[in-house]
Homo-oligomer: A and B are copies of this chain.
């Protein structure tokens, strides 16, 4: 008895955060993109004992995923997640971990929830754990999304043109929790985010999304010195780049010049959103080395 699901990684380019006494109304609007790099999760029933969560084979706290499980079931389960995005890199790892777990749990335990109900549970788990505000909404349909409203119900639009691939370099973790806890900074970020959202809706192209993301990262002061160096290097090579919000990761339309900053990964832009992984799936992600 097991079930498997995938959820895409997610890069936020810019955002407007909203806190609300109702955690379902808490969230962010803004824009971002989903990645085929993400999280594959296999969930197995445990006959008894405590729920266990393995991230890349290592027993982990995984607060967001544990919160999600508590929202859906009392049954002890073994969650085995394989991540192809770094943890704490601003690539939506916690959201993808929770969302893939939600889909797999729904299948395994016959919970009979709709897709949106599972998304909202994963979103609640993110909000409760302080690990993110817009990643679940942003990844839920894949593509390059525009998040029109914070929180639930998700209100999404999409940029219909995008390259097939995105390159990214991760320098090291930033605590999302830390950055989001400064009130004054949040207000400045929101104002910058609102300007970007308005501008993107006027000109909803991929180039404009990249340009506005870079402007947001610089205007808010959220970009690190090293990330700005990498962004400028990509731009000198003719690319468009910015920093993933919120993580010390640069995403770019080109790999040129980026290898001096670290290991460059290439990912397809994900077009499916979170999905169950059927037995027909050719690749066995859980036996990968």
Residues of B within 8 A of A204 (CB): 112-114
A141 touches B (CB below 8 Å): yes
A273 contacts chain B at the CB level, 8 A cutoff: yes
Task: Flag if B114 contacts A158 (CB, 8 Å).
Answer: yes
Contact A280 B164 (CB under 8 A): yes
Contact between B280 and A160, CB atoms less than 8 A apart: no
Q: Give chain B residues whose Cβ lies under 8 Å from the Cβ of A112.
A: 203-205
Task: Say yes or no: B157 contacts A115, CB within 8 Å.
Answer: yes
The distance from the CB of A15 to the nearest CB of chain B, in whole angstroms, is: 18
Residues of B within 8 A of A106 (CB): 160-161
Closest beta carbon of chain B to A266's beta carbon, Å: 12
In Å, the complex CA distance between A164 and B164 comes to 24
CA distance A153 to B114 in the complex (A): 20
A197 at the A/B interface (Cβ < 8 Å)? no
Over the window 111-128 of chain A, the binary record of Cβ atoms lying under 8 Å from chain B Cβ atoms (1 yes, 0 no) is: 011111010000000000
* Complex A-B, nearest 10 residue pairs according to Cβ-Cβ distance, in ascending order: A115-B158, A271-B272, A114-B204, A116-B157, A164-B280, A115-B160, A114-B157, A164-B278, A141-B141, A112-B203
Which residues in A have some Cβ–Cβ distance to B below 8 Å? 103, 106-107, 112-116, 118, 141-143, 146, 153, 155, 157-165, 201, 203-205, 271-273, 275-276, 278, 280
29 A/B residue pairs, CB under 8 Å, sorted by A: A103-B160, A106-B160, A106-B161, A107-B160, A107-B161, A112-B203, A112-B204, A112-B205, A113-B160, A113-B204, A114-B146, A114-B157, A114-B158, A115-B143, A115-B157, A115-B158, A115-B159, A115-B160, A116-B158, A118-B160, A141-B141, A141-B273, A142-B272, A153-B155, A160-B276, A162-B276, A164-B280, A271-B271, A272-B272
